[in-house]
């Protein structure tokens, strides 16, 4: 009886410690949100106070100033097309590398995995030469191709590890039934890869959605994504905190919603992705 009450009071203490730590973690969001509703002079007076009125004027102005609907759609288009392309090319490549481990394919796997250690900065300057040479700059297919190139190593590696555990018997049965190699992959194997496809998609969405440097180098103004728009906005309106905070809140909302909706998958995916990567 005594031990039980002692453990439960210890648990209560831990619970309190956890809640306090969580409040500390949420602190920055408090500042972000309350100040997006305040007038500039109130922010300058006291950045920690609650707003007097919860007016959405700042949001309306920031919405227009960063051209939110346009940059949001740009981010959605670039991210979704790149992620879909990555899923297609990396799953197909991984399948082939697992099922036909020829000398060439084994070497290819090694090279792709080794390439994961190359930092972006070590590729970016010659890449600018390449992107202008092949006329990839300022084009949607250009940035998609870039993400395919940079993303294939990790995505293919994740698929590779997963496909190794997919039994061959199912495919053999399908071949006997007269299914073509492509049909076998898309109709039989690919659906079995769903768990790892979810992981690959989530990891790539978070990466591409938040990416700043690659788009800066290869896209034009018409395709400006959220991080670029925010960066440009800060360059122009430094210290116009009321608009800046509203713009930051707006820009943060989509990815936070994405996280809260897919939380379970994201956390599982990260565990799977990091253990293998």
Site for other proteins in 77-136 (CB under 8 A): 88-90, 92-93, 95-97, 100, 105, 108, 111-112, 115, 117-130, 132-134
Note whether 9 binds other proteins by CB under 8 A: no
Note whether 73 binds other proteins by CB under 8 A: no
The residue from 63, 186, 234, 237 that contacts other proteins (CB under 8 A) is 234
Stretch that binds other proteins, among 59-67, 163-171, 192-200, 254-262 (CB under 8 A): 254-262
CA proximity to 216, closest of 233, 235, 231, 237: 231
Rounded to a whole number of angstroms, the minimum distance from the CB of residue 55 to other proteins is 19
d(C-alpha 184, C-alpha 170), whole Å: 9
Range 153-173 burial, b when 16+ CB lie within 10 A, else e? bbbbbbbbbbbeebeeeebee
Neighbours of 261 (CB within 10 A): 10
Angle at 266 between CA 273 and CA 249, to 5 degrees: 125
* Residues touching other proteins, count (CB under 8 A): 92
Residue 34 φ then ψ, to 5°? -60, -35
Note whether 154 binds other proteins by CB under 8 A: no
Contact 79/258 with Cβ under 8 angstroms?
no
Note whether 5 binds other proteins by CB under 8 A: no
Q: 165 or 274, CB closer to other proteins? A: 274
Residue list 32-71, contact with other proteins (CB under 8 A): 32, 35, 43-44, 46-49
Q: 70 or 128, CB closer to other proteins? A: 128
Stretch that binds other proteins, among 53-61, 162-170, 186-194, 239-247 (CB under 8 A): 239-247
Q: How far is CA 273 from the centre of its chain?
A: 13
Q: How many helices (H) and strands (E) does the chain have?
A: 14, 0
Note whether 179 binds other proteins by CB under 8 A: no
Q: 68 or 258, CB closer to other proteins? A: 258
Count, residues in the chain: 277
User: Residue 17, exposed/middle/buried by CB under 10 A (0-12, 13-18, 19+)?
Assistant: exposed
Alpha carbons within 13 A on the beta-carbon side of 162: 29
Note whether 258 binds other proteins by CB under 8 A: yes
Rounded to a whole number of angstroms, the minimum distance from the CB of residue 123 to other proteins is 5
Note whether 149 binds other proteins by CB under 8 A: yes
d(C-alpha 247, C-alpha 44), whole Å: 18
SS3 call for 195: helix
The residue from 9, 53, 236, 263 that contacts other proteins (CB under 8 A) is 263
Note whether 271 binds other proteins by CB under 8 A: yes
The residue from 55, 56, 73, 267 that contacts other proteins (CB under 8 A) is 267
Stretch that binds other proteins, among 55-63, 66-74, 144-152, 163-171 (CB under 8 A): 144-152
């Amino acid at each position: 009886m005594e031990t039980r009450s002692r453990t439960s009071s210890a648990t209560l203490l831990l619970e309190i410690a956890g809640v306090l730590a969580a409040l500390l973690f949420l602190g920055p969001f408090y500042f972000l949100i309350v100040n997006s509703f305040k007038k500039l002079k109130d922010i300058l007076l006291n950045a920690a106070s609650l707003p007097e009125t919860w007016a959405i004027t700042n949001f309306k102005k920031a919405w227009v100033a960063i051209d939110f609907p346009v940059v949001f759609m740009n981010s959605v288009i670039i991210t979704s097309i790149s992620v879909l392309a990555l899923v297609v090319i990396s799953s197909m490549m991984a399948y082939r590398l697992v099922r036909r481990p020829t000398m060439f394919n084994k070497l290819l796997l090694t090279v792709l995995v080794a390439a994961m250690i190359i930092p972006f900065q070590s590729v970016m300057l010659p890449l600018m030469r390449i992107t202008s040479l092949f006329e990839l700059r300022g084009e949607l297919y250009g940035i998609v191709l870039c993400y395919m190139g940079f993303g294939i190593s990790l995505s293919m590696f994740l698929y590779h590890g997963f496909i190794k555990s997919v039994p061959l018997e199912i495919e053999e049965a399908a071949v006997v039934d007269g299914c073509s190699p492509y049909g076998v992959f898309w109709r039989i194997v690919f659906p079995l890869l769903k768990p790892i496809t979810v992981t690959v998609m989530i990891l790539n969405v978070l990466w591409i959605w938040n990416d700043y440097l690659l788009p800066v180098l290869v896209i034009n103004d018409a395709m400006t994504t959220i991080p670029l728009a925010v960066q440009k906005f800060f360059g122009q309106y430094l210290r116009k905190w009321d608009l800046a905070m509203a713009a930051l809140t707006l820009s943060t909302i989509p990815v936070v919603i994405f996280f809260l909706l897919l939380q379970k998958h994201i956390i599982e995916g990260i565990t799977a992705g990091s253990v293998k990567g």
